[in-house]
Amino acid sequence: MKNPTRQELYDFLDGVLNEERQKEIEAFISQDPSVKKEISVIKQLQSVLMSDAMIEHPSARFTAQTMKAILPSKQESALFAVLKNSANVFAMAMVLALIVITYTMIPISTNTSSSSIINQSFTSYENIYTEGMNFISIRTKEYIQPLKSLTKNGSGSFFVIGIAVFLAFGLFDELIGKKYFR
């Protein structure tokens, strides 16, 4: 019987030898104490190599970070991006304030019909500006009137306008902003 090589001992332990050689080596091991010891060392080594002590672990947040890399969070909307910027919020507030001032402060002509204003002849350049602003104010009120009637008092119309502006901006963001501005 040919003495086994160490490779054959590994193969013996892995169970990949043919049946005949497997039996031969088995007999050899039982006859030779040094080979028996060698087998014992290899078996114990294998047991350690298969144990959890050999396992390396990634950091605790590995799965979360990997999933974040795989599934990035949905892109924030352009509206949210605009609102995050305090300068933009300030600009929007100024525009709204301007609308409020225009609506409440500018004196209205006694004649509330816009068509009648167009027919008026301006007597001097000084009142062109005043009359023009009156015209804008009256026009604005004509458009706002149906909205104003939605609420018992006039202040509600600003709320409605605000919502309309918000929705229009959101629609713009959805249809155009995402496509062209990012």
Residue 66 contacts another protein per CB under 8 A: yes
State the number of binding residues for another protein (CB under 8 A): 41
Residue 59 binds to another protein (criterion: CB under 8 A): yes
Nearer to another protein, 32 or 131 (CB): 32
CB 5 within 8 A of CB 38: no
**CB closer to another protein, 5 vs 123:** 5
As a whole number of angstroms, the distance between CA 106 and CA 62 comes to 63
The 140-179 site mask, x for binding another protein (CB under 8 A), equals ----------------------------------------
Least distance (Å) between residue 63 CB and another protein? 5
Host H or E run for residue 178: helix 178-180
Please state at what angle helix 19-31 crosses helix 6-14, rounded to 10 degrees.
110
Distances in whole angstroms, Cα of residue 125 to Cα of each of 30, 56, 130, 154: 122, 86, 10, 33
Site string for another protein, 68-107 (x = CB under 8 A): -xxx------------------------------------
Which of these ranges, 31-39, 114-122, 135-143, 144-152, lies near another protein under the rule CB under 8 A? 31-39
Residue 62 or 122 having the CB closest to another protein = 62
Q: Where are the alpha helices (DSSP H) in 32-154?
A: 33-49, 62-70, 78-84, 86-105, 114-119, 126-148
Least distance (Å) between residue 160 CB and another protein: 40
| Cα–Cα distance for residue pair 60/79, rounded to 1 Å | 35
